Amino acid sequence: MAGSGSGEAWPPPIKRVLLTAEQIRERVGQLAAELQRDYAGRQPLLLAVLRGSVVFLSDLIRHLEMPVCLDFVQLASYGASTCSSGRVEVVKDVGTDVAGRDVVVVEDIVDTGRTLAYLVEELKRRGAASVRVCALLDKPSRRQVPVELDYVGFEVPDCFVVGYGLDFAGRYRNLPYVAELSPQAYEAQGSEGTDVNANV
């Protein structure tokens, strides 16, 4: 079956499925219940880190039965390289005044922790009343900067993951599950597989 106009083969080159759609759906509901409990009587700002967290955010908020506000931020620390440069660039800034607000940062995956640490400190500097982090995936084996994760969906091994919002070269975000990409897929493009899950 033909894929996109680029001639990309479908299904994608998957080594193994790590998390099924059913597992993700169940855990997202549990995370929403934890948020609902912790923010009862309040209206938190859910700040999604673009672009990978959009799918997670969309499912998460549909489980919430309380008022929430949404905003988005896009950060980068990779530049033209597949490895983190250590310097964080703000591609799209937060549009909401966070002073006095309870902010929940919604992440798809936390890897090195560099961009997340920067974002949390920046939100605090801008006067946020509280900042918590809700991440679908955590890859602690790759951590370079210590960060506190308040809500975590799943811990994943040190491999390149795609699906449920996560991509490789702009592809595979629409997969309903999370999977390990076959090494042949990124080796063909000269990338190091354990270094290319961006926005982490």
Tens of pLDDT, residues 100-152: 999 999 999 999 999 999 999 999 999 999 999 999 999 999 999 999 999 99
Q: What is the DSSP letter of 145?
A: S
pLDDT band (50, 70, 90) for residue 5: very low
Catalytic residues: 111
pLDDT in tens, 154-173: 999 999 999 999 999 889 99
pLDDT band (50, 70, 90) for residue 189: low
**Rounded to an integer, what is the distance from CA 6 to the centroid of its chain?**
26
* Sheet of 178-181, strand order: 14-19, 178-181, 161-162
CATH among 2.30.30.100, 3.90.190.10, 3.40.50.2020, 3.40.190.10 for 21-157: 3.40.50.2020
Q: What is the pLDDT of residue 146?
A: 93
The average pLDDT across 89-105 equals: 95
Instruction: Determine how β-strand 151-155 pairs with β-strand 161-162.
Output: unpaired
Global confidence as pTM = 0.86
pLDDT in tens, 13-39: 889 999 999 999 999 999 999 999 999
Write down the domain spans for the chain. Answer: 21-157
Reading the block at residue 150, the tokens are 């308040």
- Is residue 168 within 8 Å of residue 186, measured between CB atoms? yes
Q: What is the pLDDT of residue 18?
A: 97
